[in-house]
Amino acid sequence: MKKKASPPARSGRFAQAPAAAVTAFTESVSFDWRLWKQDLLGSMVHATMLSKLGVLTPAEHKAIVRGLEAIGRDIAAGRFTWRPELEDVHMNIEAELTRRVPAGAKLHTGRSRNDQVALDLRLWLREELAAQQAALRRLQTALVDLAERHVGVILPGYTHLQRAQPVSLAHHLLAYVEMFERDHARLGDCFARVNVCPLGAGALAGSTLPLDRELVARLLGFVDQQGRPRVCQNSMDAVSDRDFAVEFCAAAALIAVHLSRLAEDLVLWSSSEFGFIRLADAFTTGSSLMPQKRNPDVAELTRGKAGRVIGNLTALLTLLKGLPMTYNRDLQEDKERVFDTADTVRACVEVTAAMLGQVTVNATACAAAAADPALLATDLAEYLVRRGVPFRQAHHAVGLAVAAAEKAGKRLDQLSLAELQAIHCAFAGDVLEVFRPDRVLQRRELVGAPGPQQVRRQLARWRKVLKAATVKA
């Protein structure tokens, strides 16, 4: 058995070891072990900078880097023993390094866990942001694929969950592509503020040693577009700032909210009441009691998990509210919120993309739902507008026509010209043109409207954007 390490943060000052319950209560290694790669990288670069300062000899520098690399191999292979009594990932790695390499005792020169943990979390988030963006691209691609496979499908668009006006399925799906595009951009904006190096801030007041913060920043890739190093400009802010984590959780919460709306559409559309789509067997589950059921659990869970992601954002904001300067142990609570947000949202994005890939569309059911001529009441009013009738009058006249049809037990397009003209004299012989199903969407070719040309143009635009994104990635 290995010799039990004494917690370095307690050496010297403390006569008594913490109670087991306190160790269990205060440890964070059970979750922050996930920062091990970032911690190793930060330490290697810090060691390089210390060797440039002359704090480490070249031999010590080399031994430390080798030692850290070996620890990395052990962790990756599952051979590393994490010790809760050493509190966190930082102390576990440093203690093990020092056990293997005596010069490890010099590594923490000019550094505190306060700037170290801020660094690790920023490094971790940098990678996570890129992974989230890539996942969003896959989801957008799945939406565009589905839209293209069913480009001719018409279905009702809804307001107040009441049938409103006909749109195309592709147009509806592309609305989500737009949302996820803004989410993608928000993650990019967040990256700019994550990508600033806190190292050198020390515990809160920097160091009396002439640390080269810019060298560290450059070596860790904390640079702007021109390659200039970006370091936190206030040591107190550097160790207490978690805005970047809040921003990530906020952007992620919005992704989760968008996903929950898409999930709700899929739940509704796959119900017997709508019957617009069928989810693949692989993405539905049965009931333990009712043999006929095919439940959209994957979509429902995606909808439900938005609650937890929003909760994480709220928890993080509440954690920071009223927190005195600078580092306080409360901040240890940030990591689980960030990790859970990242894991949950990424899983939701991936599973939704996969589910969309196997959706079957019932074009006939969609068309039947969109075929009610009442959905063209607005078009009928605009027909009158084109004939010089003020819109308010036209709206009123068509309202009367809808009521008359209802009363006569007819569809709106079954009223005779005489009946229409009795309501408004501007109705003429060409009025039935309004109801021609092949014209319904063709009339809507404004930018951003569901006309077939517009939708094809949008699909082509997204294809280009998404293709460029995959080439870049």
List residues with catalytic annotation.
Answer: 160, 287
Cβ(167)–Cβ(156) below 8 Å: yes
Q: Give the nearest distance from C-beta 86 to ligand ARG in angstroms.
A: 10
Cα 450 to chain center, whole Å? 27
Nearer to ligand ARG, 79 or 329 (CB): 329
Residues in contact with ligand ARG, counted by CB under 6 A, come to a total of: 11
Nearer to ligand ARG, 333 or 406 (CB): 333
Stretch that binds ligand ARG, among 76-84, 302-310, 323-331, 443-451 (CB under 6 A): 323-331
According to DSSP, the β-strands at 360-361 and 277-278 are antiparallel
Can you tell me which of 32, 85, 247, 340 binds ligand ARG, judged by CB under 6 A? 32
Q: How many CA atoms lie within 13 A of 187 on its CB side?
A: 25
Distance of closest approach, residue 321 Cβ to ligand ARG, in angstroms: 17
Quick note: the x/- pattern for ligand ARG over 65-94, rule CB under 6 A, is: ----------------------xx------
Q: How far is the CB of 334 from ligand ARG (least distance, A)?
A: 7
* Residue 108 near ligand ARG by CB under 6 A: no
Residue 330 CB, nearest distance to ligand ARG (Å)? 9
User: Judged by CB, which is closer to ligand ARG: 332, or 362?
Assistant: 332
When binding is defined by CB under 6 A, the residue of 28, 140, 168, 240 that contacts ligand ARG is: 28
Which residue, chain included where needed, has tokens 């399925």?
Answer: 169
Give whichever of 51 and 116 is closer to ligand ARG, judged by the CB atom: 116
CB of 338 to ligand ARG, least distance (A): 11
Answer yes or no whether residue 454 interacts with ligand ARG by CB under 6 A: no
- Judge contact between 211 and 110, C-beta under 8 A: yes
Structure tokens at 238: 């550097």
Q: Which stretch binds ligand ARG (CB under 6 A): 52-60, 98-106, 162-170, 328-336?
A: 328-336
What residues are paired with 165 via a beta bridge? 157
Query: Which range, of 123-131, 219-227, 258-266, 329-337, touches ligand ARG by CB under 6 A?
Result: 329-337
Determine, following the binding rule CB under 6 A, whether residue 458 of this chain makes contact with ligand ARG.
no
Query: What gap in Å lies between CA 271 and CA 294, rounded to an integer?
Result: 9
Residue position matching structure tokens 């668009």: 157
Yes or no: say if 104 and 67 are a contact pair by the CB < 8 Å rule: yes
Q: Which residues of 42-60 are buried (b: 16+ CB within 10 A; e: fewer)?
A: bbbbbbbbbbeeebbeeeb
Within 327-428, where are the H helices?
A: 334-356, 363-370, 377-386, 391-408, 417-423
CA–CA gap between residue 93 and residue 163 (Å, rounded):
61
Secondary structure class of 100 (helix, strand, coil): helix
> Measured between alpha carbons, how far is 340 from 242 in angstroms, rounded to an integer?
16
Least Å distance, CB 110 to ligand ARG, is 15
Range 111-130, binding ligand ARG (CB under 6 A): 113-114, 117
Tell me if residue 58 falls in helix, strand or coil.
helix
Contact with ligand ARG (CB under 6 A) among 332, 341, 362, 454: 332
331 lines the binding site for ligand ARG (CB under 6 A): yes
- Identify whether the C-beta of residue 230 lies closer than 8 Å to the C-beta of residue 223: yes
Residue from 186, 46, 125 nearest 335 by CA: 125
Residue 187 or residue 194: which is nearer to ligand ARG going by CB?
Answer: 194
**By C-beta, is 32 or 60 nearer to ligand ARG?**
32
Residues 247-306 that bind ligand ARG (CB under 6 A): none
CA angle 90, 96, 102 (to 5 degrees): 115
The residues, any chain, with a CB within 8 Å of residue 200's CB and separated by 6 or more, are 110, 115, 206, 207, 211, 213, 216, 231, 235, 238
Could you tell me which stretch among 99-107, 327-335, 400-408, 425-433 binds ligand ARG (CB under 6 A)? 327-335
Q: Is the Cβ of residue 89 or residue 431 nearer to ligand ARG in the bound state?
A: 89
Burial bucket for residue 272 (CB in 10 Å: 0-12, 13-18, 19+): exposed
Q: Which is nearer to ligand ARG, 28 or 235 (CB)?
A: 28
**CB neighbours of residue 2 within 10 Å:** 8
Which residues bind to ligand ARG, rule: CB under 6 A? Answer: 28, 32, 87-88, 113-114, 117, 327, 329, 331-332
